[in-house]
Amino acid sequence: MDRSLQRLLLAGGLIVSLAMGVRHGFGFFMPPMTSAFGWSRESFAFALGMQNLVWGMAQPFAGALADRHGPGKVLLGGGLLYALGLLLMTVSATPTLFSLSAGVRHGFGFFMPP
């Protein structure tokens, strides 16, 4: 196998592993967050469901942006949106703000293809 292809596959796998590792760990945060803030499980689940929907709807646009501007810039933009979503999640005091940060902002941060 070509050395550059190996590096490309390794970099892609690392990016997806880092993104999905955080994403799939949200279930661990549900019990402490819902009890600490007095939220229902449904409000937490709604935010993560919204995240999945936004992620799916953003994929065609992310692909078009990657075709036009290059995948590196799209990955950088997605990474910044992802980090901003994580930061905003830490200061979300209401279920609505949590849905906007974890659901919408974080969903757009998943510009990486599934």
Of 2, 62, 58, 67, the C-alpha closest to 10 is: 2
Assess contact for 47 and 29: CB atoms under 8 A: no
Hunting for tokens 């279920």 — which residue is that?
A: 95
In the three-class reduction of DSSP (H, G, I as helix; E, B as strand; rest coil), residue 40 is classed as coil
Contacts of 18 (CB under 8 A, 6+ apart): none
Q: Which amino acid is at 83?
A: A
Query: Global pTM?
Result: 0.72
Cα 114 from Cα 112, distance rounded (Å): 6
Report the C-alpha gap between 80 and 52 in whole angstroms: 18
Rg of the chain taking only CA atoms, in angstroms = 16
pLDDT at 59: 85
pLDDT tens for the chain, 114 residues long, are 788 899 989 988 887 777 677 667 777 878 888 888 888 999 988 988 898 888 888 888 888 988 999 888 888 888 888 888 888 888 888 999 988 888 888 777 765 543
Give the model's pLDDT for residue 68: 92
